[in-house]
Each structure stands twice: as C-alpha cells, then as structure tokens.
Homo-oligomer: A and B are copies of this chain.
Amino acid sequence: MSPATDADPSRAQQAAPDPVVQLGFLSGQLGHALRRAQATMLVDLQPKLAAEGFRPIQFVVLEVLGHNPGLRQARVSAALGMKHTNLVPLLDELEQRGLMQRRKVMADRRASALFLTEAGSQATERLRRIVAEHEARFAARLGPHGRHELLGLLQRLTDPGFDPGR
C-alpha cells in the first residue's frame, strides 16, 4: 500500500475489504456489517453535503423539523435515536445560522418549540435533492426487491416489537 493511499482517508474508506487481512470473529457479524455499510454511504454523502455547508445529521434534523413545526427538542432526539447531548449543539448551530428558531412554550418553561425559518426550508429542499440522488444510487445496488427486504430486516433489528403483518 502506497503512502499516498495511506494519507487519503476517503480512498481508504471506499476501498473494498482487503482480501488478505483476516477479520476473524468480526466477519459475519451484524454490528460490523452495519458499520461498514453506513460508513460506505456516509463517505459518499458527506462531501456532497459539505459542498453546501452541511453535515448529514444536520440534514436529518432539518428534514424532521420541516415536517413537524413546533416539535419539542426531546421528541427530536427520541424520534431520530440521537443522544440529547449531541442534538443540543447541533440545534444551537442551526439557530445561529438562521435556519431554525427556538420559541418558548407557555405551558412549560423548560421546553422550546422548534421551527424552521424560510431560509431553513429552502436549504432543506436543496439538500433533499442531493440526498435523494445519493440514496437512489445505493438503492440501485440492491434492486427494488432487495431494498424492500433490507428496510424490513433493519426495522426488525431496530424495533423487535414492530410487526407490519399485524
């Protein structure tokens, strides 16, 4: 492996698994396979969103706020499976950039209701087109049936109580 590859994290991350490196116990592990798949998609998406000044998780939060005007902070973290301690600085940044506003809730002094600004809505729309194109390219690797299967299996892994057949 050349020093040039060594110094280029995006090439290292996109490379196919090194056939000579033994993964031992890791190969065939769900946790490991999920981490690899997510890293592969992120490495594709990150530079595209960075060119617009955003990180993937910022898009996710903007998208949810756009669909749920007035949502409380705690419900954003619950709905997205995010740690509250990671969400707060992310919201701070979006607010400072004029993309989102916190408004006080009369009934509960500790709670804030969250709203996208007009600039926030426009940014979300722009980012959504980029993400949709990225998503479609990965979905094409699986075909419509494979994509549907994968979503169902991930749902069962994430939420064992979920049963779409009931």
Contacts and interface: CB of A to CB of B under 8 A. Distances in A.
Given A12-B77, A12-B84, A67-B23, A156 B141 contact: yes
Copies of this chain present: 2
Nearest to A19: B79
Given A31-B41, A142-B156, A157-B141, A82 B13 contact: yes
Interface string A73-96: 111111101111110000000000
Given A74-B6, A79-B21, A128-B25, A30 B146 contact: no
Nearest to A71: B21
Q: Which of A42, A81, A83, A161 has the most CB of B within 10 A?
A: A81
Given A13-B81, A21-B75, A64-B24, A151 B33 contact: yes
